[in-house]
Amino acid sequence: MSGLAVSHTYRYAFGSEAVSRTGGVDLRLATSGLDAANLDYFRGKLTRPVRAADLLRGLIEVVQSRFYIPPAMMARIIPADPVVTCGDDVLRFEAFSSCCSTYARADFLPPALDGERTGRGTTNVDFNAPMRSALARVREGDGVGLAIGAESVELSRGGEAIVERKVALPLRWLKGFVEVQTYQSRMTPRFEIPGPEALRFLRSLPRGAGPGSAWVVPAGRGLRLSQTPTKEAVRLGGVGRLRVLEILARHARSMRVHADERSGASAWELVLDEARFHLVLSPDVFRGFSGEGQVLSSLAADRWKEALPRVQASLRWESRVDSHALANEFSLSPAEVAAALDALGSRGLVGFDLAEGAYFHRELPFDLTMVESLHPRLKDARKLVAEGGVRVVKKDDARTEAFVQGTGVEHRVLITGQTANCTCPWYAKHNDARGPCKHILAVQILEGDGGPSEETPR
């Protein structure tokens, strides 16, 4: 794992807590932002407190889980306070597992909240031990208030000193946010089953399942595991990761399964009346989203540069970014808008919602301007181009053939239609499962093209 990290100072105006009062409990979530004194997004109450508490506990379980420990790395804890976004009508909590192989998001829709939205923005939420204990004690019938932002101090009737902790935010955690959006944007719906069938399937998963793979196939109205891949099957790497959903499925009206056939990544969406819970799994437990490189071709391209400032300026904390409307409004091609959204995702400015099939606006509270430059393959590719290490020998509408300098040898790169191939050892090992190699990226940069792309705006 890379040791690179982005230093960031978290400032919490108070510790997250549940404050007892006559007739209920106030759930106060302390946040950290660039200007904590002025953060004030939402204040009100949860209409289904037990369901909401369970969803947040499920998110915490993901944050605290490490589904894979590399042999050369100690099981150290990665600081990763969940991110919360208050947009125009949805309150979203996002987080990664410690190994970065699993992404979770709890979306609270308008029926889940009864209160006043006083602002829009994204910040970090402090889920400490007292908060976890308080969520576990929530019972049906409790009046649970929810306040996000430093202004919610007024609910506690007490002055708390600012809690300051300085951490090294892992770069791989930031890059995970970049990659998971790209994976989700390529996924297609595969199955939808009723809530009781989802619970039955999740309870049938083997206990203590290791990092091995299996396939999920239809079984009547539900699903079952299979060791044999079929045309309709969805690959599941690391079966044990799905167990996070078991306690939550009792609340679900249905469960939807999405998959990216090219990579083997999958997403499992629990649909509640007033909320949704997404669990997105990397192709295998040993593959953290941070190291995948699915977005590299888009970052290497020039086609997003003209569109990006206009698309970014149009964002207004929408829970669904209408890409077709943006293309029409700015007279841009679908590919230009899609590439701009990829680039915005790499800067933490948009996420992807599978339930809507569209991006949503959010701004991670970190300086992500350095993320693109810290992709090793992209850095190496730009260096190859700058040093004249790319020699294009043939280019027409059908294909591009080039030779790119390697270590004591030139590697042949061939880009044809929707495929790109290279003769280097890295490509021989990974093919295109983890994004393009540096040699393919170098050719794409030189040609001013992000390379093969099947993406259209949502």
Range of the domain at 308: 296-361
Radius of gyration of the chain from its Cα atoms, rounded to whole angstroms: 23
Whether 14 and 141 map to the same domain: the answer is yes
Whether 17 and 132 map to the same domain: the answer is yes
Among 289, 317, 341, the domain-final residue is 289
pTM of the full predicted structure?
0.79
The tens digit of pLDDT for each residue in 218-277 reads 999 999 999 988 889 999 988 889 999 999 999 999 999 999 988 889 999 999 999 999
Q: What is the mean pLDDT of residues 185-194?
A: 94
Q: Is the pLDDT of residue 104 over 70?
A: yes
Report pLDDT for 12.
Answer: 57
Mean pLDDT of the chain: 79
Q: Which residues contact 352 (CB under 8 A, 6 or more apart)?
A: 180, 181, 184, 185, 345, 358, 359, 360
Whether 23 and 161 map to the same domain: the answer is yes
Beta bridge partners of 344: none
Q: Using DSSP bridges, classify how beta strands 24-29 and 144-148 pair: parallel, antiparallel or unpaired.
A: parallel
Q: Where are the alpha helices (DSSP H) in 124-274?
A: 129-137, 171-186, 195-203
| Range scoring the smallest mean pLDDT among 164-178, 346-360, 384-398 | 164-178
Q: Is the pLDDT of residue 297 over 80?
A: no
First to last CA, the chain: 34
Q: Is the pLDDT of residue 43 over 50?
A: yes
Question: In this structure, is residue 144 part of a structural domain?
Answer: yes
Whether 223 and 269 map to the same domain: the answer is yes
**Residue found under tokens 């001013």:** 448
Report pLDDT for 176.
Answer: 80
Please give the residue that has the higher pLDDT: either 182 or 278. Answer: 278
Report pLDDT for 155.
Answer: 25
**Residue found under tokens 């990290």:** 5
Q: What is the mean pLDDT of residues 157-186?
A: 58
Give the CATH number, domain containing residue 306: 1.10.10.10
Give the CATH number, domain containing residue 283: 3.10.150
Q: In this structure, are residues 193 and 201 in contact, taking their beta carbons and an 8 Å threshold?
A: yes
The tens digit of pLDDT for each residue in 432-452 reads 777 789 999 999 888 765 443
Whether 127 and 38 map to the same domain: the answer is yes
Out of 60-69, 89-98, 172-181, the most confident range is 89-98
Q: Is the pLDDT of residue 141 over 80?
A: no
Q: Is the pLDDT of residue 74 over 70?
A: no
Whether 186 and 123 map to the same domain: the answer is no
